[in-house]
Amino acid sequence: MKRVYLFEEGEAKDKKLLGGKGANLAEMTRMGLPVPPGFIITTETCLEYYGAGEKPPEGLMDDVATAIKHIEEKTGKKFGDAHNPLLVSVRSGAAISMPGMMDTILNLGLNDSTVKGLVEQTDNERFAYDAYRRFISMFCRIALGVDGELFDEAFERVKQKYGVEYDTDLDAKALKEAVVGFKEICRRALGREFPTDPYEQLRLAIEAVFKSWNTPRCVAYRKEFKITSDIANGTAVNVEAMVFGNMGNDSATGVAFTRDPATGENVLFGEYLTNAQGEDVVAGIRTPKPIAEMGKEMPATCRELLKIREILERRYREVQDFEFTIERGKLYMLQTRSGKMTAQARVKTVVAMVKEGILAEEEAILKVWPEDLEQLTHKRIDPKAKVKPIARGLAASPGASSGVAIFSADDAEREGRAGKNVILVREETKPEDVHGFFASQGILTSRGGKTSHAAVVARGMGKPCVSGCEAIRVDPHAKTAYVGDVIIKEGDVLTIDGGSGDVYLGEVPMIEPKLGGDITELLRWADKRRKLGVMANTDTPEGARDAKRFGAEGIGLCRTERMFSETDRLPLVQALIMAGSAEERKPYLEKLLPVQKRDFKEILKAVEGLPVTVRLLDPPLHEFLPSRDALIEEVEELKREKSLLVLKKRTHTVVKRMENVEKSIAEKERVLKRARVLAEINPMLGHRGVRVGVTCPDIYEMQIRAYYEACAELMKEGVKIKPELMVPNICTVEELLVVKEIVARVAEEVEQKFGVRVPMKFGTMIEVVRACLEADRIAEVAEFFSFGTNDLTQATFSFSREDAENKFLSIYTERGVLPDNPFQTLDVEGVGRLIQMGVELGRKTRPDLEIGICGEHGGDPKSVKFCHEVGLTYVSCSPYRVPIARLAAAQAAIKS
């Protein structure tokens, strides 16, 4: 097994063996770029080290010595030589860079003898001893574990002695004293002399690198980011000849991007410092100069850099983030890696690279991380703004917004109408609060997970939401919230960032979203390649228009329950629920019919010509009633008022008020009674969806008629429509047949009445496990399937989404019991398997069955990939995630 690779012997693709840093140094060497000579000890050697109980494998240091020889030949210097000493840097470098691994050790090889050689070579005693004292403290701290503060304190004393403020003001003599003091510190701390043999220094440094792989911080990081051993296992060690950027004004050091990482502009972008070492750039004592100035200061080197920029991009086909040093006019490349960029810059770059002939369209598509597109569809906090959040909750629905804090849906509606920007602040929200969502710019809750009511509704509407912000205590009665000592009153301005979960006091500067020409072009390329259709989940005309704007090919899920919860109709719906029989429900259903019909017409018109899939009522009826706790509280309050009124003089006003109070009590108690009858132990598994359709067919019939009539009226107006009707929550085909019977009858009646035949498609949600298992029979009746993966995931895991997210799911993902939150990323092994069965069984009966997915997963790239692989027809997601899904679908198609 080869343990040591010269830079000449490696390649970029050897990352796992050589680490990211080493592989890139090797690659640049192979490309003929000016890299100081060096070598890499493999990651496998690190594993050997651990395998042997933290001992370097036999023969390793011999291989290292051979490699050092090679460097000596290349540089003409000699390791440990008293006249022309070779100095090296030692760096850690795993396949993936991670914090907690060893810092760089510079100038290794210095001792009392070689330092003199350095003086000889550089003719600069101060420089040499400065390097030496830095090396001793660095080596002691990093490789030998001596407390770094001891050196800082000693150095401070030297400065005091010489009465100087800055390190740079110390002369060679003072630095020599510092060296003596530093060595003394080492002796005292470790009970041994500072190691002077360069090979011993090197061995200790190599072992320190190996050890750093298992520091608690590094282990925790791997766990947190799920870096398993098949991705990165062990760290490599990079040993490289030192070059110096601080050898005078013809020396410099700098970092650069091959393009502007913020905007994507095609210019060399970076900073440099003349006569400086790398750590000076980082330390921020001197202000680096923009690279543009280099053209004047060092025109030849600058031209060389521009050439290298081009070579790097063509080789890596990615924007590179590289470090360089100029030693006495000669340029050295010290590192390169893929550059981190803003989403916008990345999109601009890949599109440009296609035009420059660097990338093919397909490569460009693969190079953008779909999730990043979300930044482009939402407002966000200006990253340059110097602001500190007062609390952080869950990033529940992306986008940022500012507004006055308002504590109830009704108040939000009133203030919203008055033209104010509103942030609705609640402990948690319920369907009866939805009118407040419409009026608000953002929603902030102190309870509930990323899939709480607030989060789901906000995402559906494309409004920013921070949920489960437990640091905030909300008192809705007092219209006040508390965060530690901070008191937020109604009307105080808040800013929330639903992309990060941050909450700020006051207004914060923001950046407007830009969906410019580049992203449009990229998505156009994506659309050419993807096999999956992309639809949107929305239930408002505005949402439908957003969906179209973001490229949705139709509405894949139009929920009808939100149409039930808007302020103007909720009382009607509640009266409907209070009614005990179909007969009593009739007048309310008759009033709801035209309202619902109008909703449908508006949505159909907003996406004229595109399919609109309407789902019949899904939630249990009790969800539309006020909460029992709220009712109990209201009744108690009224009773208290009553007991006070009894003590008052019976004036006309008091008598009148008494009557009203008593009426209110009676009314609320009636609702409370009904709410108790309808209450369920497990509402998720209760009387909802088609179960309501079977037991109260009149409610479903009203919805079906409203949709049919909406369609018929639009057809007569000449509007193009593609209506689809979908039944939720079925567990057996018989339920579907019950609804189909109503549909057939209504279709007939509407045709009679309007003289047109509505081209309605009839399909079903597949969100109950049993429906997946019986999909062959269901496909006999359903013309399309839409997998409701939210509910299907709940049933497959027996997880109640909200309970799980509040109570144990985070512990599960932290402990690795589950790899991901299955409500965010589709669980391929479990839920995915059921979907696959559903697809196979369904298509066995009806080979051309259209099958989609309309859960939250429809906008998650990993899940979209699965949907492509399993052969779905389309995904449907929040309008704001449509671009993500389009890109992810194209990536899946290209990869497969």
User: Under a CB-based contact definition with an 8 Å cutoff, are residues 698 and 589 in contact?
Assistant: yes
Query: Per-residue string for binding with its own copies, 45-84, x by CB under 8 A?
Result: ----------------------------------------
Check residue 322 and report its DSSP letter.
E
| Piece in contact with its own copies (CB under 8 A), picked from 312-320, 413-421, 646-654, 762-770 | 762-770
Least CB distance to its own copies at residue 144 (A): 37
**CA dist., res. 143 & res. 106, Å (int):** 12
| Piece in contact with its own copies (CB under 8 A), picked from 249-257, 314-322, 570-578, 798-806 | 798-806
Q: Is 643 in the site for its own copies (CB under 8 A)?
A: no
636 CA to centre of own chain? 45
**CB atoms near residue 741 (< 10 Å):** 11
Q: Which is nearer to its own copies, 685 or 719 (CB)?
A: 685
User: Under a CB-based contact definition with an 8 Å cutoff, are residues 762 and 800 in contact?
Assistant: no
Q: Which is nearer to its own copies, 350 or 771 (CB)?
A: 771
Which amino acid belongs to residue 549?
R
Query: Per-residue string for binding with its own copies, 370-389, x by CB under 8 A?
Result: --------------------
Q: Is 369 in the site for its own copies (CB under 8 A)?
A: no
By CB under 8 A, the residues from 573 to 632 that bind its own copies are: 632
Q: Which of helix, strand or coil describes residue 106?
A: strand
* Sheet arrangement for strand 493-497: 391-392, 502-505, 493-497, 400-406, 422-426, 442-445, 465-467, 394-397
**CA dist., res. 333 & res. 278, Å (int):** 12
Question: Is 854 a known active-site residue?
Answer: yes
Tokens 């790899």 correspond to 819
| Piece in contact with its own copies (CB under 8 A), picked from 186-194, 314-322, 349-357, 768-776 | 768-776
| Piece in contact with its own copies (CB under 8 A), picked from 120-128, 495-503, 744-752, 794-802 | 794-802
By CB under 8 A, the residues from 714 to 753 that bind its own copies are: 729, 731-732, 734-735, 738
Q: Which is nearer to its own copies, 46 or 834 (CB)?
A: 834
Q: Is 683 in the site for its own copies (CB under 8 A)?
A: yes
Count of residues in contact with its own copies, rule CB under 8 A: 49
Least CB distance to its own copies at residue 337 (A): 34
- Classify residue 6 as exposed, middle or buried by CB count within 10 Å of its CB (0-12, 13-18, 19+): middle
Least CB distance to its own copies at residue 192 (A): 42
Q: Is 695 in the site for its own copies (CB under 8 A)?
A: yes
**CA dist., res. 368 & res. 354, Å (int):** 13
Least CB distance to its own copies at residue 860 (A): 19
Q: Which is nearer to its own copies, 509 or 683 (CB)?
A: 683
DSSP 249-311: TT-EEEEEESS-TTT--SS-EEEEEES--HHHHHHTSSPPEEGGGHHHHSHHHHHHHHHHHHH
Instruction: Give the pair of three-digit tokens for residue 815.
Output: 């402990």
Q: Which is nearer to its own copies, 438 or 799 (CB)?
A: 799
- Residue 860 makes CB contacts below 8 A (sequence gap 6+) with 824, 825, 826, 888
Q: Which is nearer to its own copies, 11 or 428 (CB)?
A: 428
Radius of gyration of the chain measured on its C-alpha atoms: 34
Least CB distance to its own copies at residue 811 (A): 5
Q: Which is nearer to its own copies, 504 or 799 (CB)?
A: 799
**CA dist., res. 145 & res. 153, Å (int):** 17
- Indicate the Cα dihedral angle 396, 399, 405, 406, nearest 10°: -70
| Piece in contact with its own copies (CB under 8 A), picked from 43-51, 242-250, 371-379, 789-797 | 789-797
Q: Is 795 in the site for its own copies (CB under 8 A)?
A: yes
User: Under a CB-based contact definition with an 8 Å cutoff, are residues 772 and 733 in contact?
Assistant: no
Q: Which is nearer to its own copies, 618 or 850 (CB)?
A: 618
Burial string for 238-274 (b: 16+ CB within 10 Å, else e) reads: bbbbbbbbbbbeebbbbbbbbbbbeebebebbbbbbb
Least CB distance to its own copies at residue 869 (A): 17
User: Under a CB-based contact definition with an 8 Å cutoff, are residues 44 and 63 in contact?
Assistant: no
Least CB distance to its own copies at residue 877 (A): 23
Catalytic-role residue among 453, 622, 857, 868: 453
Q: Which of helix, strand or coil describes residue 90?
A: strand
Catalytic-role residue among 140, 731, 772, 854: 854
| Piece in contact with its own copies (CB under 8 A), picked from 140-148, 593-601, 659-667, 680-688 | 680-688
Least CB distance to its own copies at residue 578 (A): 17
Q: Which is nearer to its own copies, 586 or 770 (CB)?
A: 770
Least CB distance to its own copies at residue 870 (A): 15
Residue 327, CA atoms < 13 Å, CB-side half-sphere: 13
**CA dist., res. 362 & res. 525, Å (int):** 8
Strands 555-559 and 85-86: unpaired
Helix/strand/coil percentages in the chain, nearest 5? 50, 15, 30
Of these, 160, 682, 752, 896, which contacts its own copies (CB under 8 A)?
682
| Piece in contact with its own copies (CB under 8 A), picked from 96-104, 224-232, 580-588, 764-772 | 764-772
Least CB distance to its own copies at residue 382 (A): 38
Check residue 168 and report its DSSP letter.
G
Strands 235-241 and 38-41: antiparallel
Q: Which is nearer to its own copies, 133 or 857 (CB)?
A: 857
Of these, 768, 849, 885, 892, which contacts its own copies (CB under 8 A)?
768
Closest CA to 750 of 794, 797, 704, 786: 704
Closest CA to 436 of 475, 410, 462: 410
Q: Which is nearer to its own copies, 479 or 691 (CB)?
A: 691
**CA dist., res. 880 & res. 460, Å (int):** 9
Strands 442-445 and 88-94: unpaired
User: Under a CB-based contact definition with an 8 Å cutoff, are residues 895 and 381 in contact?
Assistant: no
Q: Which helix (H) or strand (E) holds 627?
A: none
Least CB distance to its own copies at residue 504 (A): 29
Q: Is 789 in the site for its own copies (CB under 8 A)?
A: no
Q: Is 365 in the site for its own copies (CB under 8 A)?
A: no
Least CB distance to its own copies at residue 54 (A): 26
Cα separation values, 593 from 293, 576, 669, Å: 71, 12, 29
Of these, 89, 344, 794, 821, which contacts its own copies (CB under 8 A)?
794
Q: Which is nearer to its own copies, 411 or 561 (CB)?
A: 561
Of these, 366, 797, 825, 840, which contacts its own copies (CB under 8 A)?
797
User: Under a CB-based contact definition with an 8 Å cutoff, are residues 10 and 27 in contact?
Assistant: yes
Question: Is 477 a known active-site residue?
Answer: no
Q: Is 561 in the site for its own copies (CB under 8 A)?
A: no
Q: Which is nearer to its own copies, 267 or 694 (CB)?
A: 694
By CB under 8 A, the residues from 799 to 858 that bind its own copies are: 799-800, 802-804, 807-808, 811-812, 815-818, 827, 829-831, 833-834
Of these, 301, 342, 446, 796, which contacts its own copies (CB under 8 A)?
796
Least CB distance to its own copies at residue 475 (A): 16
Residues that bind its own copies (CB under 8 A): 632, 680-687, 691, 694-695, 729, 731-732, 734-735, 738, 767-770, 773-774, 791, 794-800, 802-804, 807-808, 811-812, 815-818, 827, 829-831, 833-834
Active site residues: 453, 854
